[in-house]
Amino acid sequence: MFTPYVCGSCFTDNENKKQPLYYIFRPQKIKSPLHPIKQNAALCYYTGMIDLHTHSTASDGLYSPTQLVELAVSRGLTALALTDHDTVHGIAEAETAARSGPITFIPGIELHIEWHPGEFHLLGLGLTGISQKLTEIISHLEQGRKSRNQEVIQRMKDDGFPVSEEEITELYPDTIIGRPHIAAYLAGKQIVKTRQKAFDLYLAQGRPYYIERKGAQLTEAIEAIVSSGGVPVLAHPLSLYLSWSRLDSFFAEIKEQGIAGIEAWHPGARAAECERLEKLAREHGFFVTAGSDFHGEQIRPDRKLGYTAGGAAISDRFFTQELNPYLAVRTEAKH
């Protein structure tokens, strides 16, 4: 693990001239196109690393909100957004944990939107409260998940698997239970060797116990995020399974509907694809964000906190120059 420290001699070259930035002592050079700034000391690299897409135990992450914030601080991240699936349950805890650390916490959520055949996830970043509309959507989605879980378990039971819903609920209290939990449960009971096998054999789309779950309507989800003080950002656009030409017209449509940003940088895509997404997003007047979609190393080993597509460290420009001005405008508009 890296040891973060405040460098006494290096200062940022932009607007925060008086603020020392956090530097990180790294055994090797960062080879990141997003992260070009090398400062004067031989082993002192400007990190300004951030992450705008992470998950905690409130949804399907490995770390509690507090542990996630502590991990982010220990790795020198200067800003962190918590974006659990369809829940705001972890926000208060993360906010408290971040208060004592040198880190900006951004309350967020990742909403599941009705969409076929791919996946449509909408991030709400910078929530300042939870509106009635968002509460309604969350409880609706939670209900959908619950009945799907029940159906999956019932069908497996009917086919002779020794599974029970109560056991899963006991294993994961205070959590929005979804397929990753069922997969872990099946692995724990040695019905399958690994969680991944549970998906491959039983739970993934096209497998015998895959059950479709209803998502939120896009217009309602946008309204719910905006009425909660947040900014709607399209997560990992390539999961929509749209061709590039279709994506172009789709970007125009969702801009019209009120989505403000595009998460162009996500480890599910290749760096070249992210560059193309960033360019396309700018053509349509979106701001651009980057995230790791970190769930914890054991859950998704390919996702590293603070790093995105192509192993690139996430530059704080995605916060300072992209999201934050938008949040600031939003705050000003309210007063």
Interface residue list for Zn ion (CB under 5 A): 110, 121, 235, 293
Identify which of residues 110 and 316 has a Cβ nearer to Zn ion in the complex: 110
Q: Shortest Cβ distance from residue 55 to Zn ion (Å)?
A: 6
In the complex, the smallest distance separating the C-beta of residue 120 from Zn ion, rounded to whole angstroms, is: 9
Q: Tell me which amino acid residue 257 is.
A: Q
Q: Closest CB to Zn ion among 4 and 291? A: 291
Rounded to the nearest whole angstrom, what is the least distance from the CB of residue 52 to Zn ion in the complex? 11
Q: Which is nearer to Zn ion, 2 or 210 (CB)?
A: 210
Q: Determine phi and psi for 4, rounding to 5 degrees.
A: -85, 150
Q: Minimum distance between the CB of residue 268 and Zn ion, rounded to whole angstroms?
A: 8
CB of 271 to Zn ion, least distance (A): 19
Residue number, 148 or 236, with CB nearest to Zn ion: 236
Q: Which residues pair with 111 in a beta bridge?
A: 122
Nearer to Zn ion, 21 or 309 (CB): 309
Give the nearest distance from C-beta 335 to Zn ion in angstroms: 32
Q: Check if the beta carbon of residue 87 is closer than 8 Å to that of residue 176.
A: yes
Closest-by-Cβ residue to Zn ion is 121
Residue 22 or 251 with smaller CB distance to Zn ion: 251
Report the C-alpha gap between 272 and 310 in whole angstroms: 9
